[in-house]
Amino acid sequence: MDELLSVVDKNDNYLKPVERKIVHNSDLWHRGVHILLVNDNDEILLQVRSPAKDKFPNCYDCSVSEHVTAGESYENAAKRGIKEELGLENIELKKLLKLRMDYGVHDNMITEIYEAHYNGKLKFSDETSSVVYIPKQNIPDLLKKENSRFPPWTREILKWYLGMPSEFEILE
């Protein structure tokens, strides 16, 4: 059986668990989390998605991006994601906002964004082909020069994070 995701309405009221492949081939709203990991040099870690990913292979992504599975809270999904994708446990996560966004065709998400600060060694999952630390002040230029290498969610989250106009609806 495929992974079960939390399907919600447009106001983030839980409806039911649905298999991931069904969710991604429909217009069902579901939950996700993203984490921006920042180091002491004020650089943001961006993952380069594996070439095996079904959506946006070889593109820059947030430090961590996860779906919220059925019965899981946003915060627990963020903790699970940062452990699975970066090998970090017991790291402080600061919730920045909750948003609603159409991530693409049949990909409607209610998402919580978190920030974490860390300066140590990381262990990467096989969903990541490489990582890069980008100084915050260089990200606007990177977004312009390599726009197509960013999934829509990462592009809009980074723009919001840096105080630029972004295209999503803030829920809280």
Residue-range domains of the chain with CATH? 4-170 (3.90.79.10)
130-142 tens-digit pLDDT: 889 999 999 999 9
Question: Which among 33, 62, 78, 82 has a CA at the least distance from the CA of 150?
Answer: 62
Structure tokens that stand for 18 in this block: 């649905």
Contact, 23 vs 54, CB < 8 A? no
Eight-state DSSP code of residue 162: T
3-state SS assignment for residue 33: strand
Contact, 31 vs 8, CB < 8 A? yes
Radius of gyration of the chain (CA): 15
What sign for the dihedral angle of Cα 56, 57, 62, 66? positive
Q: What's the confidence (pLDDT) of residue 34?
A: 97
Q: What's the confidence (pLDDT) of residue 1?
A: 61
User: CA-CA distances (angstroms) from residue 92 to 9, 72, 119?
Assistant: 29, 19, 13
4-41 tens-digit pLDDT: 999 999 999 999 999 999 998 888 999 999 999 999 99
Eight-state DSSP code of residue 163: T
Question: Which among 70, 69, 59, 138 has a CA at the least distance from the CA of 104?
Answer: 59
